[in-house]
Amino acid sequence: MNRKLAYLASVFAVTFTASGAFAAVMDQKVERSAADKVVVTWTNKAPVDVYVADSADAGVAKAKLVSDDNKKGRFEFVVDPTARPYFLLKDTKDGVTTEIAERALPLEQGSNFRDLGGYPAAGGKHVRWGMVFRSGGTPMLTDADLARIKLLKLTDMVDLRSAEERTVAPSKIEDVRYTAVGYSMQRMMNQGPIDTTRLGGVYRNFPTLLAPQMRVLFKTLLEEGTTVAYNCSAGQDRTGFATALLLTTLGVPRDVIFADYHLSTTYRRPQFETPKLDAAAMPTPALKYIAGFQQGPAAAKPQPLFDAEHKPFLANAFAEIEEKWGSVEAYLDKEVGVDAADIAKLRAKYLE
User: Which CATH number is 87's domain given?
Assistant: 2.60.40.10
243 shares a domain with 116? yes
What is the pLDDT at residue 15? 39
Domain limits for position 125 = 104-350
159 shares a domain with 80? no
What is the pLDDT at residue 268? 97
pLDDT in tens, 148-176: 999 999 999 999 999 999 999 999 999 99
Nearest to 273 by CA among 234, 230, 229: 234
- Per-residue pLDDT 10s for the chain (352 aa) are 444 444 444 444 443 333 334 446 889 999 999 999 999 999 999 999 999 999 999 999 999 999 999 999 999 999 988 889 999 999 999 999 999 999 999 999 999 999 999 999 999 999 999 999 999 999 999 999 999 999 999 999 999 999 999 999 999 999 999 999 999 887 766 655 455 557 888 899 999 999 999 999 999 999 999 999 999 999 999 999 999 999 999 999 999 999 999 999 999 999 999 999 888 888 888 788 788 878 887 778 899 999 989 999 999 999 999 999 999 999 999 999 999 999 999 999 999 9
**Domain termination residue (choose one: 102, 126, 153):** 102
Residues with Cβ within 8 Å of 269's Cβ and at least 6 positions away in sequence, in order, are: 109, 110, 111, 112, 136
Residue 8, in any domain of the structure? no
What is the pLDDT at residue 8? 43
Side-chain half-sphere exposure of 174, counting CA atoms within 13 A: 6
219 shares a domain with 83? no
86 shares a domain with 49? yes
The Cα-based distances of 91 to 46, 67, 103, 202, 267 in angstroms read 6, 12, 22, 46, 31
The count of domains in the chain is 2
What is the pLDDT at residue 291? 84
213 shares a domain with 89? no
pTM for this predicted structure: 0.90
Give me the amino acid identity at 47. Answer: P
172 shares a domain with 267? yes
Q: Give the 3-state secondary structure of the chain.
A: CCHHHHHHHHHHHHHHHHCCCCCCCEEEEEEEEECCEEEEEEECCCCEEEEEECCCCCHHHHCEEEEEEECCCEEEEECCCCCCCEEEEEECCCCCEEEECCCECCCCCCCCCEECCCCECHHHCEECCCCEEEECCCCCCCHHHHHHHHCCCCCEEEECCCHHHHHHCCCCCCCCEEEECCCCCHHHHCCCCCCCCCHHHHHHHHHHHCHHHHHHHHHHHHCCCCCEEEECCCCCCHHHHHHHHHHHHCCCCHHHHHHHHHCHHHHCCHHHCCCCCCHHHCCCHHHHHHHHHHCCHHHHCCCCCECCCCCECHHHHHHHHHHHCCCHHHHHHHHHCCCHHHHHHHHHHHEC
**Domain termination residue (choose one: 102, 133, 167):** 102
What is the pLDDT at residue 283? 83
**Domain termination residue (choose one: 102, 128, 154):** 102
What is the pLDDT at residue 98? 95
